[in-house]
Chain A
Amino acid sequence: MKYEAVIGLEVHAELLTESKIFCGCSTKFGSEPNTQVCPVCLGLPGTLPVLNKKVVEYAVRAGLALNCTIANFSKMDRKNYFYPDLPKAYQISQYDLPLCSNGYLEIEIDGQTKKIGIKRIHIEEDAGKLLHENTDGSLVDYNRAGVPLIEIVSEPDISTPEEAYQYLTKLKSILEYTEVSDCKMQEGSLRVDTNVSIRPVGSKELGTKIELKNLNSFKAVQKALEYEIKRQIKVLEESGTIIQETRRWNESKGITEPMRTKEEAHDYRYFPEPDLVPIVVTEEWKEEIRQSLPEMPHHKRERFISEYGLPEYDAKIITSSKKMADFFEKCVAEYYSPKTVSNWLMGEFSRLLNETGKEIDEVPVTPQMLVKLLKLIDNGVISGSIAKTVFEEMFGTGKEPEVIVEEKGLKQIANENELREIIKKVIDENPKSVEDYKNGKEKAMGFLVGQVMKATKGKANPQLTNQILKEELSK
């Protein structure tokens, strides 16, 4: 029998507001434990929450960017459960009246556009963090308690792990574009849970749903889903039954493991939060937020193709991150060749970003610096290959390219006499290759160019080197 998967995704994203959702404490990441806390976010007896208006604004912004209906009336609810990282023993969240609902986003699968429904987006507070460093107990850091979150719940419209991956990539890019969240999975500002069931192809009935947790990257989501779908098919093919449960993805083993069954699931006893008043979003406010929305990725992509003449592939990659796209536009404002900029961004720059795991705004290279580097190549001061060395140094130290060229003596040798002397020496030292060349072996030319580059530590002007070599060899 052939099976198909039905996948749903739940994404938690921390909002980029300055202060927490119900108090004035900072949301800054990475501070000393318990330094960004107050009686309110510690849930001390008698304290009350006051909703941060920015949180509603950011969530509405995300909702509009994801084509949602924005509720003009919604409310907060309490979700009750005991856990040491939850100071009030309830989380203030939204239950039956979420702020945003019925949206969608579009992904591309094999050149086809597919719409994935967004069931709802609601706002809620984050919990603290447990630190298990101590052997005689765990410690709690409440800096994160009360950091605003949105939970984005997809419709079960996703049918393959690849689609799930595409959905997450697109969602992340939209949240970054709208500057709602910085979406850093490594800092926990983006977290993903997924659920998956399988059914025979053509069946309308849904199978038993399995929830997957501990997914630390989009790739992990994809791999966990691939594994889980195979596992479920195997269970059914061996006439077994799938039990409704939550499973944990074990990254090192590459498998999912049971975590808790339905019987162990919490009864959260949701009820309306009496300490807060209902949230009213007026038409005027909604329109104001809509007007302030930035250009969305797919619009930007089309514009980059038409305005800068970028190939579609380049445009897609460059616009997948707003920061990258912004960087690109700042460069082309001062540089004539968008394609050259794009090559650098997709090539060296992306390679180093991937290697260091950093975002483009976390490294010291500015658009102005990259443009300076490109102009040094254009003016023949350095060669393209030396430029890569210079760039790596810029990336690491933040020094201006011309300073690096100066300090390291990387200027191109473009003096004909100087270069001719070096080339003559290379010809003298490699009689075998010279003979090969003269016997018609073109490859020998390449070897000789390489020897010249080696002798000049890559600084020889490539065109001039070719020209002089040919002249000398034909003598």
Chain B
Amino acid sequence: MELYSLTIHQLKEFLHKKEVSVLEVTRAYLERIKEVEPQIDALITITEEFALQRAKEADEKIKNGEAKDLTGIPVIIKDNISTEGIRTTCSSKMLENYVPPYNATVVERLLEEGAVILGKSNLDEFAMGSSTENSAFKTTKNPWDLSRVPGGSSGGSAAAVAADEAAFALGSDTGGSIRQPASLCGVVGMKPTYGLVSRYGLVAFASSLDQIGPFTKDVTDCAIVLNTIIGHDPMDSTSLKIDKPDYTSYLKEDIKGLKIGVAKEFFSTGIEKGVKETVQKAIKVFEDLGADIIDISIPYLEYALPAYYIIASAEASSNLARYDGIRYGHIAKNYEDLIDMYMTGRSEGFGKEVKRRIMLGTYALSSGYYDAYYKKALKVRTLIKNDFERAFEKCDVIVGPTSPTVAFKIGERTNDPLAMYLADIYTVSVNIAGLPGISLPCGLSDGLPVGLQVIGKHFDEGRIINVAYAFEQANKFNAKPQAIGGAR
């Protein structure tokens, strides 16, 4: 057994019993990072010095009997989440040297508990993409097969957890950016209900869809991390005031009589045979556990993807306008006047996909097109919300595949944006409706992980955890990525 292969709850026990120090754990992880990073390329920044210093502080805490759940636990943060004094690049040339003067609320909460930040992870530029190939700096590889993508946009965080570079990681999910890479990398990833986790400090892509969530090695860890990161934040008006539940109290195997909805629409467009069969087997597991499987329908699901690309791009076109090529580092070398400075700086600083979405979003909001695109997309959004509401009258959770395919080859879809967009076909509707969703590994197809998505009602994360945990216990996923010296 290696320290870096442990889960949070296992590490916690060792640490609290003082069988191992945080410093030892941290060093083990830093070693592991050095060992596998050359193959995986999950990280943009490694914060070794900061981590070692934090480790010493955490050891003090434990010594003083002040240890909390995440004290001394190593974590990696997606590089679009603001970290004070630590470069936050969004994998964009535009922010290559941007060092924020403040911490995101989630980072603040992790640090308060004594978590140890090991580094910042790679992503598709400004979280736009499904493979991390849109990073301006590097392409992260899937630990299960280095010739394949880890998914995206939080591909760095997913791969890092899969490759044991951290006990857990934070990502952000706008249209599937946590769940899809979790699925492709065989780890647990959750997008909480919109408004459950503060967005303060998450560099905005699409403000009405973005949500921060955890990548963990199992469902128990997911519950532990959620406990720390959720809760109202006075700095985020869209974060809701709710009583903080203890999600670990939902870690129960009993789901007898629970109504599990299965929508045929989640098994249609472009689904791989292997994925379909693996997910169907998973549904059988639920049946065996005594749950009622109920057929439901989300009729407007096929419009979710186009509506998503209009709403998300519209908001992005506005959110990304502040990168004017004057502040934040990247400045054009040659320009004629102010407008030229803006245009040259932005042309150089942004990658292809980001520019594509800025143009798409700007177009959708332009006078004369607003009603036909943006307004219509908002109507579709309402229809999809209604669909889910109706579905949830019949069932407690909805299950299906997270991604229609297993991890695809690097370069396979880079020249076909529409094929790339289809990677999110089963995840975007959850963001559009603001619902919580988890992806957990449910088996392998051709030796690559398949993710099972469990979608719940608003603020019903507890129930999702219950269902996911019951499944995990009944259907142990013991496979390990073999592409990297998988000493786990």
Binding site for B on A (CB under 8 A): 39, 43-51, 78, 80, 82, 84, 87-90, 267, 269-271, 274-277
Partner of B100, one of A46, A89, A270, A277: A46
Residue numbers in B under 8 Å from A87 (CB-CB): 322
Partner pick for A46 among B203, B238, B362, B370, CB 8 A cutoff: B203
Kindly list chain A residues whose C-beta atoms are within 8 Å of the C-beta of B82: 44-46
User: Would you call B98 and A88 a contact (CB within 8 A)?
Assistant: no
Would A47 and B200 count as touching, CB distance under 8 A?
yes
Q: Which residues of A contact B228 (CB under 8 A)?
A: none
Chain A residues with Cβ below 8 Å from B322 are 43, 45, 87-89
In the A-B complex, the 7 residue pairs with the closest CB atoms:
A89-B321, A274-B208, A274-B207, A269-B365, A45-B203, A46-B82, A46-B201
The answer to whether the Cβ of B193 comes within 8 Å of any Cβ in the partner chain is: no
Asked if residues B235 and A267 are in contact (CB atoms below 8 Å), the reply is no
Q: B374 to A82, Cβ gap below 8 A?
A: no
Complex Cα spacing A87 to B82, Å: 18
Contact with A along B450-475 (1 / 0, CB 8 A): 00000000000000000000000000
**Can you report 8 A-B residue pairs in the complex whose CB atoms are below 8 A from each other?**
A45-B90, A46-B201, A47-B200, A78-B318, A80-B365, A84-B324, A269-B366, A271-B374
- Docked Cα-Cα span, A46 to B203, in Å, equals 4
Whether A84 touches B95, Cβ cut-off 8 Å, given contacts A89-B324, A269-B318, A269-B362, is no
Compute how far the CA of A47 lies from the CA of B198 in the bound complex, rounded to whole angstroms: 11
- The contact string, 1 if C-beta is below 8 Å from chain A, for chain B 64-104, is 00000000000000001110000010100001001011101
CA distance A84 to B374 in the complex (A): 27
Q: Is there an interface contact between B362 and A44, defined as CB atoms closer than 8 Å? A: no
Complex contacts, A44 vs chain B, CB 8 Å:
82, 100-102
Q: Does B255 belong to the interface (CB within 8 Å)?
A: no
Question: B24 to chain A: which residues have CB within 8 Å?
Answer: none
Given A82-B342, A84-B338 in contact, is the A46-B200 Cβ separation under 8 Å?
Answer: yes
B334 CB–A CB distance under 8 Å: no
The verdict on B428 contacting chain A, using a C-beta distance below 8 Å, is no
Closest to A81 in B: B321
Q: How far is the CB of A244 from chain B (nearest CB, A)?
A: 16
Nearest CB of B to A48, in Å: 5
- Docked pose: A43 CA to B321 CA in angstroms: 11
Nearest CB of chain A from residue B362's CB, rounded to whole Å: 7
Could you tell me the distance between the alpha carbons of A269 and B235 in the complex, rounded to whole angstroms?
26
Chain A residues, Cβ within 8 Å of B315: 271, 274
Give the distance in Å from the alpha carbon of A87 to the alpha carbon of B323 in the complex: 9
Q: Is B314's beta carbon under 8 Å from chain A?
A: yes
| Chain A residue nearest in CB terms to B362 | A269
0/1 string, B216-253, CB within 8 A of A gives 1: 00000000000000000011111000000000000000
B204 adjacent to chain A (CB < 8 Å): yes
Knowing A274-B315, A275-B207, A275-B237 are in contact, say whether A46-B104 is a contact too (CB < 8 A). yes
Please, how many angstroms separate the alpha-carbon atoms of A51 and B208 in the complex?
17
The answer on a CB contact under 8 Å between B201 and A271 is no
A90–B318 CA distance with the chains assembled, in angstroms = 7
Residues of A within 8 A of B238 (CB): 48, 274-277
Encode contact with A along B315-329: 1 for CB under 8 Å, 0 otherwise.
Answer: 101100110101010
* B367 CB–A CB distance under 8 Å: yes
With a CB–CB cut-off of 8 A, which chain B residues contact A267?
Answer: 366-367
Extra contacts, 19 of them, besides A45-B90, A48-B235 (Cβ < 8 A), are A39-B102, A44-B102, A45-B82, A46-B199, A48-B199, A50-B237, A51-B237, A84-B324, A84-B326, A84-B338, A88-B321, A90-B318, A269-B318, A269-B362, A269-B365, A271-B315, A274-B238, A275-B207, A277-B238
Residues of A within 8 A of B321 (CB): 80, 82, 88-90
A90–B322 Cα distance when bound, in Å, is 8
| Residue in B81, B200, B362 whose CB lies within 8 Å of A48 | B200
Residue of A nearest to B88 (CB): A45
Interface residues of B in 314-373 (CB under 8 A from A): 314-315, 317-318, 321-322, 324, 326, 328, 338, 342, 362, 365-367, 370
Min CB distance B327 to A, Å, is 8
Chain B residues within 8 Å of A276, by CB: 237-238
Residues in B with CB closer than 8 Å to A88 are 321-322
List residues of chain B with CB within 8 A of the CB of A43. 322
| Minimum CB–CB distance for B356 against chain A, Å | 17
> Which chain B positions have C-beta within 8 A of A271?
314-315, 318, 365, 370, 374
When C-beta atoms are compared, the residue in chain B nearest to A275 turns out to be B207
- Count chain B CB atoms within 10 A of each CB in A45, A49, A82, A88 and give the residue with the most: A45
Q: Report B-chain residues with C-beta under 8 Å of the C-beta of A47.
A: 102, 200-201
With CB as the reference atom, state the residue of chain B lying closest to A76. Answer: B237
**B residues near A84, Cβ cutoff 8 Å:** 324, 326, 338
Roughly how many angstroms separate A43 CA and B366 CA in the complex, as a whole number? 23
Q: Give bound CA distance, A46 to B200, whole Å.
A: 6
Residues of B within 8 A of A80 (CB): 317-318, 321, 365
A230, B318: Cα distance in complex, Å: 42
Residues of B within 8 A of A49 (CB): 237
Give Cα A277–Cα B204 distance, bound, in whole angstroms.
16
Q: Report the Cα distance A80→B102, complex, angstroms.
A: 26
Judged by a CB distance under 8 angstroms, whether B202 is at the interface is yes
Query: Within the assembled complex, what's the spacing in Å between the Cα atoms of A90 and B101?
Result: 22
Looking at the complex, which one of A45, A50, A78, A89 makes contact with B234 (CB distance below 8 Å)?
Answer: A50
Residue from the list A39, A46, A274 in contact with B81, Cβ < 8 A: A46
CA distance A275 to B98 in the complex (A): 23
Of chain B, the residue at the smallest CB distance from A266 is B367
CB pair B101–A39 under 8 Å, yes or no, is yes
- Nearest A residue to B208 via CB reads A274
Contact partners of A78 in chain B: CB under 8 A: 318
Bound CA–CA A17/B326 (angstroms): 31
Who on chain B is nearest to A277 by CB?
A: B237
> Most chain-B CB neighbours within 10 Å: which of A82, A88, A269?
A269
- How far is the CB of B178 from the nearest CB of chain A, in Å? 17
- For residue A428, give the distance in angstroms from its CB to the closest CB of chain B: 81
Interface string of B397-441 (1 = CB under 8 A from A): 000000000000000000000000000000000000000000000
Q: How far apart sit A90 and B237, CA to CA, in the bound complex (Å)?
A: 18
Question: B100: shortest Cβ distance to chain A, in Å?
Answer: 7
Residues of A within 8 A of B88 (CB): 45-46
The 8 Å CB contact of A50, one of B95, B202, B235, is B235
Nearest residue (CB) in A for B98 is A45
Determine the chain B residues whose CB is within 8 A of the CB of A82 once the complex forms: 321, 324, 342
Q: How far is the CA of A50 from the CA of B80 in the complex (A)?
A: 21
Contacting residues, chain A, for B102 (C-beta < 8 A): 39, 44, 47
> A274 contacts which chain B residues (CB < 8 A)?
206-208, 238, 315
Closest chain A CB from B300 CB (angstroms): 21
In whole angstroms, what is the CA distance A39 to B234 when docked?
Answer: 15
In the bound complex, CA of A80 to CA of B362 (Å): 10
Q: Smallest distance from the beta carbon of A204 to chain B beta carbons, Å? A: 27
A28 to B236, CA, bound (A): 25
Task: Report Cα–Cα, A384/B219, bound state, in Å.
Answer: 90
CA distance A349 to B65 in the complex (A): 72
Nearest-neighbor residue (CB-CB) of A271 within chain B: B365
Binary CB contact string for chain B from 292 to 332 against chain A (1 if under 8 A, 0 otherwise): 00000000000000000000001101100110101010000
CA distance A80 to B315 in the complex (A): 11
Q: Report the separation of the CA atoms of residues A296 and B81 in the bound assembly, to the nearest whole angstrom.
A: 51
In the bound complex, do residue B326 and residue A46 qualify as a contact, i.e. CB atoms below 8 Å apart?
no
B256 nearest CB across to chain A (Å) = 39
Residues of B within 8 A of A270 (CB): 365
When chains A and B are docked, how far (Å) is the Cα of A106 from the Cα of B208?
A: 43
Q: How far is the CB of B435 from chain A (nearest CB, A)?
A: 17
Contacts of B98 in A (CB 8 A): 45
Q: Find the B residue at minimum CB distance from A80.
A: B318
Name the residue on B nearest A38 (C-beta): B102
Q: How near does chain B come to A335, taking the closest CB pair, in angstroms?
A: 51
0 or 1 for each of B149-163: is its CB under 8 Å from A? (1 = yes): 000000000000000
- A276–B199 Cα distance when bound, in Å, is 12
Q: Point out the residues of chain A lying under 8 angstroms from B324, CB to CB.
A: 82, 84, 89
Which residue of chain A is the closest to B326 with respect to CB atoms? A84
User: How far is it, in angstroms, between the C-alpha of A46 and the C-alpha of B199 when the chains are bound?
Assistant: 8
